[in-house]
Chains A and B, each alone.
Chain A
Amino acid sequence: MNCRSEVLEVSVEGRQVDEAMLALLHTILLHRSTGKFHYKKEGTYSIGTVGTQDIDCDYIDFSFVRVSSDELDRVIRKAVGEFKDAMGNGTDGMGQISLEFYQKKKSRWPFSDECIPWEVWSIKVNVVNLANEQERQICREKVGEKLGEKVINIVEVINQHEYLPKMPTQSEVDNVFDTSLKDVQPYLYKITFQITDTLGTSVSTTMRRLIKDTLAL
């Protein structure tokens, strides 16, 4: 696929899942968001401001920075909540949540718009069960350290000057940025998750591929 993909792996305790996920997703989104664009005449624009906010975790010795946008936070929390529900509570489990940044490409009439991803972050979560309080305490610290490392990884990756979509003109801004939020404007993104590694892809994607393949020359 013509997109970068980065994989992060963490193993946490059951109740730490959502905080760990939030920390990582928010960290990525912090670097992939801009202020709102205000277009002016002559095809120029100015960028609004974005505030940041420190968040302390309850179950992990860790605090992270996120964009201070409650709307964005709500969206992410919802996705993470769904992920956690799907994982089930308290049991061992594997799961993967991916944050995919994409770009829309307008197509001509018979086809729908294409969404072309340019960067995918996959976070693999391994949920462990801990026996006693002492282990939990150790885990609390260790996960905090781990997350700190991951955040640095993320920043390192983002710091490399790699491909980013070009800044759009006013008419195209919806193809690159998610403009639905009032106070912040992240790149278009999509959060998907997957519980355990189910072999094979779903039926619909297989069918789609089959049709596409038969049509191809």
Chain B
Amino acid sequence: MAAHFDTEYQRLEASYSDSPPGEENLLVHVPDGNKSPWHHIENLDLFFQRVYNLHQKNGFTCMLLGEVFELVQLLFVVGFTVFLANCVDYDILFANKFVNHTDSSKVTLPDAFLPVDVCSASIRDNVTVMFVLMISGVFWLHRLIKFIYNVCCYWEIRSFYTNALKMSMAELPYFTWQEVQARIVEIQKEHQICIHKKELTELDIYHRILRFKNYMVAMVNKSLLPVRFRPPLLGECVFYTRGLKYNFELILFWGPGSLFESEWSLKPQYKRGGNRLELADKLASRILWIGIANLLLCPVVLVWQILYAFFSYTEVIKREPGSLGARCWSLYGRCYLRHFNELDHELMSRLSKGYKASSRYMNCFLSSLLTVVAKNVAFFAGSLLAVLIALTIYDEDVLAVEHVLSSITLLGVCITVCRSFIPDKHLVYCPEQLLRLILAHIHYMPDHWQGNAHRYETRDQFSQLFQYKAVFILEELTSPLVTPFILIFSLRRKSLEIIDFFRNFTVEVVGVGDTCSFAQMDIRQHGHPAWMSEGKTEASIYQQAEDGKTELSLMHFALTNPQWQPPTETTHFISQLKERVQRETTGDGHTLTSLSEPRSLIANFLAGPPSLASLHLGRDGSLANHGPVGVSDGASALRSLSVSSMRGSCSSTHRSAGHASSASRAMAGSSTDAQTASSGSSVWEGQLTSLVLSEYASTEMSIHALYIHELRKQQSGGELSRHTWHRQDSDDSSDSVTEEGGSGGGNTNPRKPIPRSHTFPISTPISTPGPIPSSNSGPNPDRGTTPGQEVAPLQSNSQRHYGGNTDSVGPGGRVVRSERVPIGGWAEEGHGGRHPDTVPEERSEDDMPPNIHKVT
């Protein structure tokens, strides 16, 4: 501190001589001035988001150009459509009418155009066209203004990059986000971008960029958003489109009257449990209005969607007709598979790695009936095509015959489509193993898929995550029609749950603002006992994240951001898990002593399911070829992991990078041998970039994800009742909440929303602190449940909890928190005696039975 002040107040000796008399004793100061304009930025959320966007869009120029072209494209789409509809004389084009030319008989394109005055008159007379033109004009203007605004904003960011971060735009694409982030953390010390803290952590930046996305991920995770439907004929399906997502965000996050008063803070009334019913009412009516607005705007949006789809996809279909058959990750899938605190590029790279395996998996399920039909159709179409082409080669006049060119095109398309239904003869598919490879990249899947990979139901459910592109486009097109109804009929019913969710799962973190508490990745608060955090978690069922999301997200974040220093308890969890995974791989299965420990898991999941592994290793040549390579490489990657642990010496990192790459390649299913991998590593030898590290981290993450899933599978003995794939629970629970009337916040709900698996802690509504779940680690005696690890509450006072807790603001704004079981949660926790703490004043108000309200 003293040093700090020394710089601010300096005595200037020189001034003694020439200062006027009487001022000798004055202290003279030197202003440090605001040389950088980046101290103390008002809206850090927006700022970090822009910094991230600019990085992802590869610099200012690329972004600018991209946006300019988008604007031009928009103009072109509208203009060209209008032109085609009104200004072309199709009779001339189709040669139904003859043109009188003096010099030649050839018809030229300009002949087919109508004269300008006729054309404009027809446009003016047509009301619909005028309507469309006006709407698109307004839309375009909006885009233009937004563009100009963005240019101004991003210019700032650009100068931030060049002046503060010292990265020029030209080299920006070659920096990874992790490097950019490290520099931001670095300059915080100097510029103090965020004034609450002396130092920023990686997690702070992630929290700010992903604030709302984390909420969305958590809501999908807890099945709060209505995205699953059961229409009468189609069976279970998922409907989640961009339009719907936009509406959700509008309602919850930033629209007028939304739950958030600014980007970083929830409105205070939503943090109190007192008038939740009233707020739910208000939310419901807002949803209704927005739904109605959607309904009214639906023709406009529909026209727009169709135009846009037409122009962006027809060209693609023409070029490669197979692309419609190609699949993509659905919007729902992206939400379901996303970790907490995972940036877009991380998710995309992960999913892209899983793409190949996923499409191969989906191709396993080609219907044999279709194959037979397709083969024959392809045969007939092929012979016709061959004849036509042969004739054309012989004499090109054949092309001039009417419809020959179009039939050639059609036949070509037909053959391509048919071919996609015919499986490759020389490939051997093993769905179980493919699913494992997929899991290595996507990290999440419902438990009951394992062992059922060959079933059609599994495939159907997987296709909800990984859908046909054609289906995707179709859904987008129908979205304007369906969205209003989803809002009005499904979402509105959930308004109370939404209010409860935001109250219970929002924490205020100093220097970040209100964030989703799941995104804190605190095992203690949101861990799920069946996913490795047994004995460490204190979460009620309502508070647990499903599918081991907390645990996996934590691992993922720790691996992608090795510099991040988690709280002690979390560090403990991470190191314990790492250690176990490592032990699994280094000791090759036989040296494992404990009975409960799943045997050589890594070997298992790299080589295939246990039953198949032995068989393949022995007989099947091709599999035996890459199976062992995968195992050994994976093992060596993990072994070297212990040495380097992300920050190790250079050489070991190089080696491990080589291994990691080969491991991932082997996992991707290609039969790469170790030779190519090692030669590949020599290419990398020159530069130790964080790119290598991130690649390495993703491999490690894959192994961890597989391990956790495998462990979970073995623990539960294959019988998993809780994780039914479609967690109908939330639908049911909302029904039961509304139906059951005022029967109290009761303990036993006959239609219990969540069936528990038997490894699940039995959390009876106890009033005395008795033997609570942590002792329930039955099958695993060597689990980390020694009493020493029951870590004392680490809740620092930098967090305020809403909902369950009441804050009393102590002197100087410090917070005293007293914890309570959240209200509005799932019923079976009762009024849990787990926190028999002080009874806050609001309690009487809060404790209203949550069920008396019926939102209509």
Complex alpha-carbon distance, A47 and B1, angstroms: 21
- CB-CB under 8 A for A161 and B41, given A1-B262, A156-B811, A166-B33: no
Determine, out of B72-80, B189-197, B342-350, B818-826, the stretch whose residues face the partner at the interface. B189-197
Determine, out of A12-20, A65-73, A109-117, the stretch whose residues face the partner at the interface. A109-117
Shortest C-beta distance, A197 to chain B (Å), equals 8
Pick the residue among A46, A199, A214 that contacts B28 (CB under 8 A).
Answer: A46
Contact code string B138-157 (vs A, CB < 8 Å = 1, else 0): 00001001100110100000
Shortest C-beta distance, A140 to chain B (Å), equals 22
A157 touches B195 (CB 8 A): no
Residues in chain B within 8 A of chain A (CB atoms): 1, 4, 8, 12, 15, 23, 26-34, 37, 39-44, 46, 50, 53, 142, 145-146, 149-150, 152, 192, 194-196, 254-257, 261-262, 264-265, 268-269, 513, 809, 811-813
Complex alpha-carbon distance, A5 and B27, angstroms: 33
A-B contact pairs, 30 of them (CB 8 A): A1-B264, A2-B41, A2-B42, A2-B43, A4-B195, A5-B813, A6-B812, A43-B31, A44-B28, A44-B30, A45-B31, A46-B27, A46-B28, A47-B29, A149-B811, A157-B812, A161-B4, A162-B195, A166-B39, A167-B8, A167-B29, A168-B31, A168-B34, A169-B33, A172-B33, A209-B262, A213-B254, A213-B255, A216-B46, A217-B50
Complex alpha-carbon distance, A108 and B455, angstroms: 62
Complex alpha-carbon distance, A7 and B800, angstroms: 15
Complex alpha-carbon distance, A110 and B156, angstroms: 14
B12 touches A110 (CB 8 A): no
Q: Which residue of A lies closest to B46 (CB)?
A: A216
B196 touches A103 (CB 8 A): no
Query: How many cross-chain pairs have Cβ atoms below 8 Å apart between A and B?
Result: 116
A40 is an interface residue with CB less than 8 A from chain B = yes
B813 touches A118 (CB 8 A): no
A167 touches B33 (CB 8 A): yes
Known: A46-B26, A105-B37. 17 other contacts (CB 8 A): A1-B262, A2-B41, A2-B42, A2-B44, A2-B194, A5-B813, A43-B31, A45-B29, A45-B30, A161-B4, A163-B40, A166-B31, A166-B39, A206-B256, A209-B254, A215-B149, A216-B46
Shortest C-beta distance, A47 to chain B (Å), equals 7
Most B-side CB within 10 Å, residue of A149, A161, A201, A217: A217
CB contact list, A160-206 vs B, under 8 A: 161-163, 165-170, 172, 175, 197, 199-201, 206
| 4 A-B pairs with the lowest CB-CB distances in the bound complex, closest first | A163-B195, A116-B42, A169-B33, A167-B31
Complex alpha-carbon distance, A3 and B192, angstroms: 12
A137 is an interface residue with CB less than 8 A from chain B = no
Shortest C-beta distance, B668 to chain A (Å), equals 34
B195 touches A3 (CB 8 A): yes
Complex alpha-carbon distance, A32 and B816, angstroms: 28
Pick the residue among B150, B264, B813 that contacts A217 (CB under 8 A).
Answer: B150
A44 touches B12 (CB 8 A): yes
For chain A, the bracket of interface size reads 35 or more
A141 is an interface residue with CB less than 8 A from chain B = no
B31 touches A103 (CB 8 A): no
A199 contacts across to B, CB distance below 8 A? 269
Contact code string A87-125 (vs B, CB < 8 Å = 1, else 0): 000000000000000010100101100101110000000
Shortest C-beta distance, A81 to chain B (Å), equals 27
Q: Which residue of A lies closest to B513 (CB)?
A: A1
A55 contacts across to B, CB distance below 8 A? none
B29 touches A9 (CB 8 A): no
B152 touches A157 (CB 8 A): no
B15 contacts across to A, CB distance below 8 A? 44
B40 touches A116 (CB 8 A): yes
Complex alpha-carbon distance, A6 and B254, angstroms: 26
Complex alpha-carbon distance, A63 and B490, angstroms: 61
- CB-CB under 8 A for A6 and B813, given A1-B262, A47-B27: yes
A153 is an interface residue with CB less than 8 A from chain B = yes
Shortest C-beta distance, B394 to chain A (Å), equals 58
Residues in chain A within 8 A of chain B (CB atoms): 1-7, 9, 40, 43-47, 103, 105, 108, 110-111, 114, 116-118, 149, 153, 156-157, 161-163, 165-170, 172, 175, 197, 199-201, 206, 209-210, 213-217
Complex alpha-carbon distance, A166 and B195, angstroms: 12
A169 touches B31 (CB 8 A): yes
Most A-side CB within 10 Å, residue of B42, B150, B261: B42
Shortest C-beta distance, A198 to chain B (Å), equals 11
Shortest C-beta distance, A66 to chain B (Å), equals 21
Shortest C-beta distance, A72 to chain B (Å), equals 22
Complex alpha-carbon distance, A51 and B35, angstroms: 32
Shortest C-beta distance, A186 to chain B (Å), equals 17
Q: Which residue of B lies closest to A199 (CB)?
A: B269
Complex alpha-carbon distance, A114 and B46, angstroms: 15
B149 contacts across to A, CB distance below 8 A? 215
Shortest C-beta distance, A165 to chain B (Å), equals 7
B261 contacts across to A, CB distance below 8 A? 201
Shortest C-beta distance, B139 to chain A (Å), equals 12
Q: Which residue of A lies closest to B23 (CB)?
A: A46
Complex alpha-carbon distance, A92 and B642, angstroms: 67
Shortest C-beta distance, B25 to chain A (Å), equals 10
Complex alpha-carbon distance, A117 and B41, angstroms: 10
Pick the residue among A44, A111, A118, A169 that contacts B40 (CB under 8 A).
Answer: A118
Most A-side CB within 10 Å, residue of B32, B53, B192, B195: B195
B195 touches A118 (CB 8 A): yes
Q: Which residue of B lies closest to A158 (CB)?
A: B812
Complex alpha-carbon distance, A111 and B42, angstroms: 15
Complex alpha-carbon distance, A2 and B40, angstroms: 7
A165 contacts across to B, CB distance below 8 A? 34, 39-40
B812 contacts across to A, CB distance below 8 A? 6, 153, 156-157
Q: Which residue of A lies closest to B27 (CB)?
A: A46
Shortest C-beta distance, B22 to chain A (Å), equals 12
Complex alpha-carbon distance, A177 and B50, angstroms: 30
B257 touches A214 (CB 8 A): no
Q: Which residue of A lies closest to B26 (CB)?
A: A46
Q: Which residue of A lies closest to B142 (CB)?
A: A214
A1 touches B42 (CB 8 A): yes
A44 touches B34 (CB 8 A): no
Complex alpha-carbon distance, A108 and B256, angstroms: 28
B152 touches A111 (CB 8 A): yes
Complex alpha-carbon distance, A214 and B250, angstroms: 10
B34 touches A172 (CB 8 A): yes
Shortest C-beta distance, A44 to chain B (Å), equals 5
Q: Which residue of A lies closest to B41 (CB)?
A: A2
B513 contacts across to A, CB distance below 8 A? 1
Q: Which residue of A lies closest to B4 (CB)?
A: A161
B813 contacts across to A, CB distance below 8 A? 5-7, 157
B43 contacts across to A, CB distance below 8 A? 1-2
Complex alpha-carbon distance, A1 and B44, angstroms: 8
Shortest C-beta distance, A194 to chain B (Å), equals 12
A43 touches B30 (CB 8 A): yes
A156 contacts across to B, CB distance below 8 A? 811-812
Q: Which residue of B lies closest to A171 (CB)?
A: B33
Complex alpha-carbon distance, A34 and B194, angstroms: 25
Complex alpha-carbon distance, A161 and B192, angstroms: 13
- CB-CB under 8 A for A46 and B29, given A153-B811, A157-B813, A214-B146: yes
- CB-CB under 8 A for A40 and B152, given A166-B39, A167-B8: no
Pick the residue among A44, A117, A161, A215 that contacts B146 (CB under 8 A).
Answer: A215
A161 touches B1 (CB 8 A): yes
A149 contacts across to B, CB distance below 8 A? 811
Shortest C-beta distance, B283 to chain A (Å), equals 13
Shortest C-beta distance, B70 to chain A (Å), equals 12
Shortest C-beta distance, B787 to chain A (Å), equals 38
B44 contacts across to A, CB distance below 8 A? 2
Shortest C-beta distance, B323 to chain A (Å), equals 28
